[in-house]
Structure 1
Amino acid sequence: MTATSRTLICVDGPGGPTPEWFVPRLCDGHDLTILWAPAGDPLIDDHKRDLFARWKCRQFTFNTGDDLTELIKKYAHSEQSDGILCFSELRVIEAYTAALELGLPANPVQAINAMRDKYEQRKLLAAAGVPVPRYARVRTGTELKEACRRVGLPAILKPVTGAGSLATYLIDDSTDLPAVWELARAAHDRDSRGGKTSTFILEDRLIGVNKHSDDRYGDYASVESITFDGRTEHLAVTDKLPLTPTFRENGGILPSVLPEADIETLHAAAADAIQALGLKNCATHIEFKFTADGPRIIEVNCRIGGGVSEQLFYAADYDVVDALADISVGRQPARMKDPERYAAILLPQIASEPLEVVHAPTPDEVLSFPGAKSAYIKYSAGDCPRWEDGTVAGTLARVFAAASDHETLLRTFHRLEGSFNFVEIPC
């Protein structure tokens, strides 16, 4: 620690950069206290406990169901913390609420309420004149039927507090509404990323256009930004790979290779959304669908996007973890320099059918692929991934790669996809 070190509370949780990534960075310049919830798996929990101890972090645990906001405030008082930081979408509401109530850098109450609730987001965006698709809140099977009449078909049904394409379904004229409602509720209720109640939003399906004229790219993109004291810096636009049914992400590459005019349009649309929601001190990961009428917001996430921390580091040597720590203690973050290379997060998805893995590559094999920086292989021979549970469950591997051109990264993704073999299994 140095004389200018700040004390910091970091609330750990699923999503965002891993503790292995953010703890060393936060400990370099901050006196760090970690709040975390044991998973119940001794191997995972012991690994985290040892990691935090090795970096000499003070650590306190909590359980699901605890009043996390009050716990954060309690430890912030006892540790005399200068700021509160959270990278996890599942914990960010409590972290920002505690910071706001303690008078630390945070976001207004209205913005906090819309951070994870897609329905509240849509209301604020629409009220500010930001284009949004038709939408309706759905809490029962009867409301789903009425929402279909109001919104029109085809439409997308998803939880208001879901993440990673959890319980997301296409609704059209052929859909058995009672059956899909029960499927959606069951998928939502068995996943910890869902909210406390089975509340959904039905939205008019946006019809995408491919701005790249290359089917190796998807018809959507994301804008990665940080906002400090109401002033926003756009860090990058991420070109997304095509989705796998049902709406599962395969990763993305930044910075974008779209024409500058398209990037400026996305930046302006992201700035409008940030202003409409009243965000003041946070990261944002805003996903846009390209349509014939221009980019339309899919959703606003008030956190750094999954994998974006690593991508920004590999592309521009930029430490967004440190930047967000600065924001949390009221200090101006460093500006990002222009990227010198392209960086990708590659998340190949299993097909949307019952399959068993019969061959998976080893991490060392994947690290021999062009540009590969790190490789985690999630499934091995004999596993049957539950793709129905969204992007996380259907992801076969998580690979970061960097190169001087997009083409190398696209080829590496194709090679990674082809390195898994499967066999059909009975339904």
Structure 2
Amino acid sequence: MPRKAVILLEGSKMGTGQLYVQAAKGLGLHPIVLSADPARFNYLATENIEAIRVDTDDLDALIRECSQLRETYDIVGITGHPYPGEAVYATAAKLCRHFGLPGPNPTSIDQCCDKFNQRQLLAEAGVPVPVHRMATNAAEVESAAAEIGLPVILKPAVGNGSTGVRLCRDAEELAEHTVYLLGGTYEWQTSPRILVEEFAEGPYFVADIMANEVVAVGAATFGPPPHFVYDEYIYPAPLAVEEHERIVKVALSCLRALDLNWGPTNIEFRWTTRGPVVIEVNPRLSGSPDPQLIQLTCGIDLVTEHIKLVIGNECDLRKRYSQTASARFLVPDRDGTLDRIDGASRAADVPGVAEVTWYIRPPTPIIRKGDSRDCVGHVIAASPNHDQTEVILQLAVDSIRLSITPFATHDE
């Protein structure tokens, strides 16, 4: 009999791709990664994974490659890693539909990829979202901001990882970021379309969902504005019972509004004076380190449970225990060349530390962009309670030092 295999599109430089191939192996499957550039992902060699170079934006090319693989393997499932984002997940959904394999509705995934379209569908269903407008040029941005009132958020209508997203607190910042988005510096995935929306100010939360069940609700903090670079994630979120229930209720209403009823979804919220306001619905599993945090918190491995659905099995979302897990992101405080990382082994040896992971290796040039790409690694800690986890995490992070040599200036 041919070997059972699962096809994974692309990969994640932040570690989730490796989680997927490990989970597939754990289920007795042969993982095959299709990527436009397999050499980008070190874990492929580490895990001795079969990887095939193919344009993952070309659906016909992917169909041909998968058809060829079916001559050798019993392809039992196809899915995409959480990053680079919804586009690859939507492509995976189309492949599943083509080959008659379990998967999400491609139309439902596609309509979530456009943030403006998503906002419109949620608003029509009565889901609380920020006041928003669409703009395609500087005049429309200025007009929308005047109508909504400063401060506003400017973000590309299509994208992920907070790329191109900025809080504009005054007219100068608004004009500056508009020039950045429309002046040729920002690399658009589509024709330039900017979402202008009110700044929904308040604590940030995320609901992690599998099928129609909210598995966990976490909280996060960010570095200094005007950018949105994650500083720390914590599960479970420190919420009162009624607050948790309100988030769950709104999350489930998002699924109905967007026709998302299969597989993973993660929904981002801000808790404002109106209560939970939906910032974004991502029809995919959260990227690393969220799956690790959820597993440490309650014993549910969402990556494995996702693959179970992908191959047509039932998932098991029973919680096995309860503790607090948190991740601190490591973000350089300056541009320059990352020469070395000191103290990583000491951090890993702190009791209660579950993981110390680096996304890059020295020597590497660091040019901060004000988005998720600024993060160079993370530390995860877990314990029975919030306060103890914070103490462990701080002790570990304090032992790490990033040695960064500033770039030479033209005067030198």
What is the TM-score when the length of structure 2 is the normalising length? 0.85
Partner of 1:73: 63
My pick for the range that moved more, 416-425 or 15-24, is 416-425
Choose the corresponding residue for 1:251, options 209, 215, 232: 232
Q: 1:244 to 1:220 in 2, by over 3 A?
A: same
The answer to whether the 8 Å contact 2:331/2:376 transfers is yes
Choose the corresponding residue for 2:321, options 339, 343, 350: 339
Deviation at 1:396, TM superposition (A): 4.2
- Cα deviation 1:306-362 (Å, max 9, x = unaligned): 2122112222332212211121233221123143322222213345x6678798433
Q: 1:382 to 1:102 in 2, by over 3 A?
A: closer
The answer to whether the 8 Å contact 1:16/1:87 transfers is no
Deviation at 1:176, TM superposition (A): 5.0
SS of residue matched to 1:165: coil
Counterpart of 1:173, as a letter, is D
Choose the corresponding residue for 1:59, options 26, 51, 76: 51
My pick for the range that moved more, 238-247 or 153-162, is 238-247
Aligned 1:332-371 pairs, distance under 5 A: 332-351=314-333, 360-371=341-352
- Cα deviation 1:252-274 (Å, max 9, x = unaligned): 11122311111111111111111
- Give, in whole Å, the separation in 2 of the partners of 1:223 and 1:312: 11
- Give, in whole Å, the separation in 2 of the partners of 1:310 and 1:256: 15
Q: 1:397 to 1:240 in 2, by over 3 A?
A: same
Counterpart of 2:54, as a letter, is F
SS of residue matched to 1:237: strand
SS of residue matched to 1:175: helix
The answer to whether the 8 Å contact 2:8/2:80 transfers is yes
- Give, in whole Å, the separation in 2 of the partners of 1:110 and 1:159: 21
Partner of 2:45: 50
Partner of 1:214: none
Choose the corresponding residue for 1:170, options 156, 167, 171: 167
- Give, in whole Å, the separation in 2 of the partners of 1:224 and 1:403: 21
Q: 1:204 to 1:333 in 2, by over 3 A?
A: same
Partner of 2:253: 272
Residue identity over aligned pairs, in percent, reads: 21
Structure 2 gaps, min length 5:
none
Q: 1:85 to 1:359 in 2, by over 3 A?
A: closer
Deviation at 1:404, TM superposition (A): 1.4
Counterpart of 1:23, as a letter, is V
Structure 1 gaps, min length 5:
209-218
**Alignment pair present for 1:153 and 2:169:** no
What is the TM-score when the length of structure 1 is the normalising length? 0.82
Deviation at 1:128, TM superposition (A): 1.1
Deviation at 1:82, TM superposition (A): 2.8
**Alignment pair present for 1:224 and 2:208:** yes
Aligned 1:273-288 pairs, distance under 5 A: 273-288=254-269
- Give, in whole Å, the separation in 1 of the partners of 2:196 and 2:185: 16
Counterpart of 2:149, as a letter, is G
My pick for the range that moved more, 74-83 or 246-255, is 74-83
Aligned length: 397
RMSD, aligned α-carbons = 3.1
The answer to whether the 8 Å contact 1:378/1:396 transfers is yes
